[in-house]
Amino acid sequence: MKTVLFVCVENSFRSQIAEAYFNRYAPEGWMAVSAGIKLAEQVHPNAVKLMHEEGIDISHKKPQIMTRELQEKADIAIIVCSGSLCPVVYTKNVEEWNMPDPAKMPLEEARKIREAIKAKVLDLIERLSKEQLPQ
């Protein structure tokens, strides 16, 4: 099984959404995990609400810390966040999506970030189905 690692700061919003979408639509032989470098206590309630709107339940998910093992197992790492707090990831194939942090945004604004993440995930899945890895 090949793995995509979605990474952001707290693993409470953007990376959780990306992981959920990827696992919902993943091409055969692929799966996603997500992690952060400074964990939140829980997945952000607005992330849970926004994904519930999409028919995806992430209420059971727990933020996890990015480890060396996760990086080594990943075939691709996607850095979802933007700014100086974003982690450096040591994986052969890395992509940066530079998504703004929706955690303090009103739900309507956060919904736009969710849609942007969904579009990026679906594009990634399409590229992977054609075996086009990020460089």
- Tell me the catalytic residues: 8, 81, 86
DSSP 87-112: PP---SEEEE------TTS-HHHHHH
What is the Cα gyration radius of the chain?
13
**DSSP symbol at 26:** P
Find residue 5's DSSP bridge partners.
33, 77
Rounded to whole angstroms, how far apart are CA atoms 128 and 110? 27
